[in-house]
């Protein structure tokens, strides 16, 4: 439990499933006000009707992270209601694992629109309010895929690499302000994400034993709230592998090429 989340207002994009939903549950239990932003109206309504969440202070707001106007309108609606934002957890994201020659142009655009441009747009809309209030924290959910490229995730990895670059630069821009920037780089997590990302089921089959549990990932992310932690990398050994890769990419590609191709 993180005592620093109590009474804080925390916005979570993509909070209706996976680690977003798990963070929502845990944050409500710890006394936070949680604003869940997602595009699926049915899932948002289900969230509101969930008896296990009704004891907490939960609000929902529809948003389409691939649409700039939708993002601006969602933020405007919440601010007009007097909702503040102490912490933004940019969690919404999509991925589709395909060789680049098999990738569809519309899917490539959607990954960049949601994972990168949507994330940046939402921060641009919220940041002035954090600066005005002289407090706030932005938690970006990136991925180990942004540090260590593998076959069939060239586009997805590129979006997460972009988020890492953006977040690192933004952290420097905010260095003289009270706003904290934290980036989370998890490895594969056992969530519905792979229902879309892994059409063949090959990746999940091969990686099942090392997949992270969403409740554990959510718990570790929540512990970063109120801290000055720069990055959270999960699991540690995967991040260690990424560091070794950056030191000797050619060697690692030769040694681990079969493992990389398990998608």
How many angstroms separate the CA atoms of 56 and 52, rounded? 9
CA distances (Å), 208 to each of 70, 96, 188, 217, 263, in order? 36, 18, 9, 16, 12
The two structure tokens encoding residue 78: 């919440």
Closest CA to 222 of 5, 76, 74: 5
Burial readout 2-37 (b: 16 or more C-beta within 10 A, e: otherwise): bebbeebbbbbbbbbbbbbbbbbbbbbebebbbbbb
How many angstroms separate the CA atoms of 243 and 164, rounded? 15
Dihedral sign (CA 39, 40, 42, 44): negative
Active site residues: 156
Q: Are 218 and 22 in contact (CB under 8 A)?
A: yes
Closest CA to 111 of 167, 155, 145: 155
């Amino acid at each position: 439990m993180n005592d620093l989340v109590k009474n804080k207002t925390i916005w979570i994009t993509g909070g209706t499933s996976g680690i977003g939903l798990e963070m929502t549950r845990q944050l409500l239990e710890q006394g936070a006000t949680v604003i869940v932003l997602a595009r699926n109206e049915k899932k948002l309504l289900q969230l509101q009707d969930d008896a296990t969440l009704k004891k907490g202070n939960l609000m929902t707001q529809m948003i389409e992270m691939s649409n700039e106007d939708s993002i601006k309108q969602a933020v405007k609606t919440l601010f007009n209601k007097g909702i503040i934002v102490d912490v933004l957890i940019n969690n919404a994201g999509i991925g589709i694992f395909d060789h680049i020659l098999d990738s569809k142009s519309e899917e490539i655009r959607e990954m960049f629109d949601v994972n990168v441009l949507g994330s940046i747009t939402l921060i641009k809309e919220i940041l002035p309010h954090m600066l005005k209030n002289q407090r706030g924290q932005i938690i970006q959910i990136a991925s180990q895929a942004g540090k260590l490229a593998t076959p069939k995730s060239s586009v997805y990895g590129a979006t997460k690499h972009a988020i890492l670059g953006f977040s690192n630069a933004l952290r420097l821009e905010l260095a003289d302000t009270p706003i904290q920037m934290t980036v989370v780089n998890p490895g594969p997590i056992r969530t519905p994400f792979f229902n879309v990302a892994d059409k063949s089921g090959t990746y999940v089959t091969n990686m099942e034993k090392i997949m992270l549990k969403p409740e554990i990932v959510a718990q570790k992310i929540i512990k970063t709230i109120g801290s000055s932690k720069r990055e959270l990398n999960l699991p540690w050994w995967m991040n260690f592998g990424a560091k070794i890769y950056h030191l000797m990419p050619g060697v690692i590609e030769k040694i681990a090429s079969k493992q990389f191709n398990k998608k």
